[in-house]
Structure 1
């Protein structure tokens, strides 16, 4: 068969759009033409709409505007990473505004102080934006009704807003006409916006309803622009030489004699970084990216490595065990009564176990990249980023210029998952551009990306529980030691624990659970060896990815210790009393809502029914990321274990979620599916270790995430609710791993306390049981 020719002599490069058009055209032969036509008929929605015939614009807040054609443009400060965040957030505002959805457009904006904190992470986007956009939309609706009533010559009380128009009986006037003809000079202060009433849930017409996603057309017709697509005239390409340690490496010399033979090679520069973000970096510059790759492979660098050059995964975990063993290490969280000693002294029985997790890489599809240059006194950084507000001060320090003279241009993100919260990759591109006085586009190879990753730290956790008469829980202690990403990259973001010492919430969230366990002590410990060896990162669900692994595995062990059914044991502890009662506005109902998702998941999964040999059903539950925005979640995992090979097959995941109001049902389901499958991947398939200060696995030949053939059946349901919408991006990631481990125990009696769970570990667990 003749291979397709994507490029011929003298032709322009074959673009992603060309590929999609060719693919869609070919798809017609397989019955996909209807879908393709639908996608291609839409225009890109992230572009600024053409100006109205009359250059008028109604802009009561910074968050949206309406032009003379009735086009509503919503400004989105959250990064688009495939989660359709613009569609979800725009519908909040458009619902309150009573806009015509067909006339709604979204813009993902560049950095500007007027937007305030620009961050996309922590499952915060919808939760934080809900009150802001609800009130902004309400403000627009109120003003439009008032002005529409004047233009119609009727009382405001006789008017209502519907589908982009003000209606009074049989008469109406479109929003665009009000903008053209009305006197719309009203502006609202933040204080005024907060006081505006919003619609009751019964009157919502877009929130929670099926509507067309605004960002799908651009992704299917090839017009979406990702950071890796950025280009400007005269730019050159850079590929770094990654030093032997993440911290403290120094360049002694380099030899580029062999690289000079590569066509297109320009030069090699040692990055001088005042911000100490990329110490020891050498940047190879070439006219093309292939030339930069080839040249970099031919250059030798002599480094003096930093202190982490000999550190292994075992060193990091052993250090954590030693830290946990010191009773005075770490920071205590405020969990009410932490006087657990008396309860343990008086206990009829006690239980103690230690749980560990391996280093995890992000491995997002789009490798890290940044294009940097100065233009008209402004230093522009073109890249995808999740926390623009965090990296701007670092860039200012690195470039030695005011932060106000630096702008991050917004692009789509081909996978973030927390890696692009740390915008460190913008720094070397900017410094290379400054050194060369010309635009530099830096792109990391897959292996470069893995070695430069802000990994999810390995962790060690020890949990203890005290029991009184009849197996009643009287006390619980939880100590967790891991690298602290927030301590390293955003110390200002750390709250205070008991005694006033700061702690990283993203390394301990989830441990402060909603179970009633009597006296409770939670100790967060910063693994300083981890912090100095690598730059710990935020990875989807962050702390709860390991804390919930320990909590829900341990709760299951406690249930078996007391000879209690694991579901019944959990329900007995989810009493919603005292600090676990919940409060308005975000946690109304408290632990009672967590108990409800446990009951529903168990019932839907057939809890208690007979199962085939070597098959088990295990359950785990969580409140998601943080106590002040709980997403009540439960998962029942059905697994089959091959006793001979130790291979675990996950047959089905049954997941029930109570996230309050579901703003975007399709995206919500996708978020739960994606999070659950990553949780499954980290439980059974993916993970790496440190060897000599570097991650062992740097590409997908040895780093092996979940493959599509291993995806189980999934039953996902949501509890109907009108409560405040909370986060959906991360909670499902945390409940799958412990549910699988608990199911393995039911199936073959092997208790696994480390993830990823390997076949070897399962076989060993079977042989050692009892």
Structure 2
């Protein structure tokens, strides 16, 4: 797959800390169902309805980390909202939300300022509107607990009153929004306080809906027959004669090298999957084994001197030659699967040229871009209906299960539910790369470390996330090998090794294998 998000845009979003588009709209021109019904949606962040209920739209994935509650707290703080009136939802993917991505522990720090200003800006407009309606100076009014109060007289209007009366007629420019003075930490009333997570009640009473819980009218079930290699296999022939005998079997779908069976229920789909006979050309990775990968990595570490450096400071080889004492060690880390508790799944529907995907996604923006290209439709014709995630850890950054479900749904003309077995889930993972890191260090007569050399061999998932840098390096795979120890002579060589095993990112703010090797070697 080729990502729709360029590396430049990906990093730009990280630096800007926005994560979504923040605009304030002028009341009167209803641009959503909520506004048409009398609710006020000043921006893409939240909506206030005529009863005063505030719904914060969470564009980050809730996968057990409590992000919905945290982001709602940020909005509530500057909005001066009564926490009892706060609700959250997880909107369907839409370009208006900007970058919909959850990973790397970025959700709060990327969005804190923008969410704070969304709340503060709306508070400003609410005060102005209420003051005008009460015929009092805005400077004498404050917002607190979902209402605007005139301090000298005690008169007040609730947020619900202001919205239901349609009193807000002003808007804020981007420049005005930037000038708003935000609260200082000492003034916080909501942020930093213990608050019961908003997702906990429905997760304890059974109302919470994960991707695997989604059902649509007329839905059928599918199972994919996966090839014997992770990549590169091609279908030679398909024999579904025995599968057709399974009670509940509906059809066989072949789309390129994706082969699936469709059945009336999940158990029938599993039974039919077991009866399918697919002959494969195993392709270029047919003979890849643990031994062959190990040998390939060691050969690259010893012989590849043309790969680009990642760190090159001073003269590491010269300093090693002059060192009083040297030490060398090699560190091997294996492939690591994500194995979320909820296996990969998706319900897909194709209707009137639009694909609807009901699944838990960590990267809705990428899913829209990738799938629109693969299906030959516009990005707005790809709708990801966000569900709770039963674990993510980076696995649900990938839209592969959506692609399979979408292809099958389009072929059969019905909504399709695809659930991978645990075995298929592990076999089709995007693993954290196995790595080989060969480190050598040297100390001088005083015991100070004066030389450091590291040869790092690993695969690069970054090509799917906007590309590599100009020297062909993946900074997210190499981060951490450029440590912060004050060593005058350092050299790190970055060697890429692709073995036919798909690789991705596993829960961490960086590739933890580099820190494992660096810190262990230092010890």
Q: Same fold (TM over 0.5)?
A: yes
Cα contact 1:507–1:524 (8 A) shared by 2 = no
The 5 Å alignment of 1:396-411 reads: 396-411=372-387
Cα contact 2:62–2:388 (8 A) shared by 1 = yes
Q: Distance in 1 between matches of 2:501 and 2:509?
A: 16
The verdict on how the C-alpha distance between 1:400 and 1:183 changes in structure 2, with shifts beyond 3 A counting, is same
Q: Distance in 1 between matches of 2:175 and 2:518?
A: 41
Q: How far apart are 1:141 and its partner, in Å?
A: 1.6
Q: How far apart are 1:162 and its partner, in Å?
A: 1.7
Q: Deviations 1:51-79 (Å, cap 9, x if unpaired)?
A: 79x94333222111212211111111111
In the alignment, which residue of structure 2 is the partner of 1:374? 350
Q: Distance in 2 between matches of 1:188 and 1:436?
A: 49
Q: In structure 2, the residue corresponding to 1:166 is in which secondary structure?
A: strand
Cα contact 1:271–1:428 (8 A) shared by 2 = no
Cα contact 1:283–1:432 (8 A) shared by 2 = yes
- The structure 2 residue matched to 1:250, chosen from 234, 244, 249, is 234
Q: How far apart are 1:285 and its partner, in Å?
A: 0.9
Q: Does 1:77 align with 2:77?
A: no
Higher relative contact order (CA 8 A, sep 6+): 2
Q: How far apart are 1:336 and its partner, in Å?
A: 7.2
In the alignment, which residue of structure 1 is the partner of 2:120? 138
Q: Distance in 1 between matches of 2:268 and 2:127?
A: 61
- The structure 1 residue matched to 2:511, chosen from 544, 555, 562, is 544
Q: Does 1:167 align with 2:149?
A: yes
In the alignment, which residue of structure 1 is the partner of 2:43? 61
Q: How far apart are 1:80 and its partner, in Å?
A: 1.0
Which structure 2 residue ranges, 5 or more long, are not aligned?
1-32
Q: Deviations 1:180-224 (Å, cap 9, x if unpaired)?
A: 336313334555433432111111111110112111111112111
Cα contact 1:92–1:207 (8 A) shared by 2 = yes
In the alignment, which residue of structure 2 is the partner of 1:361? 337
Q: Distance in 1 between matches of 2:441 and 2:81?
A: 54
In the alignment, which residue of structure 1 is the partner of 2:444? 468
Q: Distance in 1 between matches of 2:312 and 2:393?
A: 33
The 5 Å alignment of 1:308-319 reads: 308-319=285-296
The verdict on how the C-alpha distance between 1:460 and 1:71 changes in structure 2, with shifts beyond 3 A counting, is same
Q: Does 1:200 align with 2:170?
A: no
- The structure 2 residue matched to 1:103, chosen from 85, 89, 98, is 85
Q: How far apart are 1:125 and its partner, in Å?
A: 0.9
Q: How far apart are 1:480 and its partner, in Å?
A: 1.8
In the alignment, which residue of structure 2 is the partner of 1:535? 502
Cα contact 1:418–1:539 (8 A) shared by 2 = yes
Q: CA RMSD in A?
A: 2.1
Q: How far apart are 1:542 and its partner, in Å?
A: 7.2
Q: Distance in 2 between matches of 1:521 and 1:437?
A: 57
In the alignment, which residue of structure 1 is the partner of 2:4? none
Q: Distance in 1 between matches of 2:197 and 2:440?
A: 47
Q: In structure 2, the residue corresponding to 1:469 is in which secondary structure?
A: coil
Q: Distance in 2 between matches of 1:510 and 1:185?
A: 51
Q: How far apart are 1:344 and its partner, in Å?
A: 2.3
Q: Distance in 1 between matches of 2:482 and 2:173?
A: 37
Q: How far apart are 1:367 and its partner, in Å?
A: 1.0
In the alignment, which residue of structure 1 is the partner of 2:406? 430
In the alignment, which residue of structure 2 is the partner of 1:525? 495
The verdict on how the C-alpha distance between 1:89 and 1:338 changes in structure 2, with shifts beyond 3 A counting, is farther
Q: Does 1:320 align with 2:325?
A: no
Q: In structure 1, the residue corresponding to 2:231 is in which secondary structure?
A: coil
- The structure 2 residue matched to 1:306, chosen from 272, 283, 290, is 283
State TM-score, norm by structure 2: 0.89
Q: How far apart are 1:382 and its partner, in Å?
A: 1.4
Q: In structure 2, the residue corresponding to 1:461 is in which secondary structure?
A: strand
The 5 Å alignment of 1:356-755 reads: 356-487=332-463, 489-492=464-467, 494=468, 496=469, 500-529=470-499, 533-541=500-508, 543-556=510-523
The verdict on how the C-alpha distance between 1:187 and 1:153 changes in structure 2, with shifts beyond 3 A counting, is closer
The verdict on how the C-alpha distance between 1:217 and 1:143 changes in structure 2, with shifts beyond 3 A counting, is same
Q: Distance in 2 between matches of 1:469 and 1:209?
A: 53
Cα contact 1:368–1:444 (8 A) shared by 2 = yes
Q: Distance in 1 between matches of 2:304 and 2:487?
A: 21
Q: How far apart are 1:547 and its partner, in Å?
A: 0.7
The verdict on how the C-alpha distance between 1:309 and 1:110 changes in structure 2, with shifts beyond 3 A counting, is same
Which structure 1 residue ranges, 5 or more long, are not aligned?
1-49, 273-279, 557-770
The verdict on how the C-alpha distance between 1:131 and 1:318 changes in structure 2, with shifts beyond 3 A counting, is farther
The verdict on how the C-alpha distance between 1:317 and 1:168 changes in structure 2, with shifts beyond 3 A counting, is farther
- The structure 2 residue matched to 1:91, chosen from 50, 54, 73, is 73
TM superposition outliers: structure 1 runs of 4+ over 6 Å? none
Q: Deviations 1:96-126 (Å, cap 9, x if unpaired)?
A: 1111111111111111111111111111111
Cα contact 1:317–1:459 (8 A) shared by 2 = no
Cα contact 2:345–2:417 (8 A) shared by 1 = yes
The 5 Å alignment of 1:215-234 reads: 215-234=199-218
The verdict on how the C-alpha distance between 1:107 and 1:464 changes in structure 2, with shifts beyond 3 A counting, is same
Q: Distance in 1 between matches of 2:86 and 2:422?
A: 38
In the alignment, which residue of structure 1 is the partner of 2:169? 185
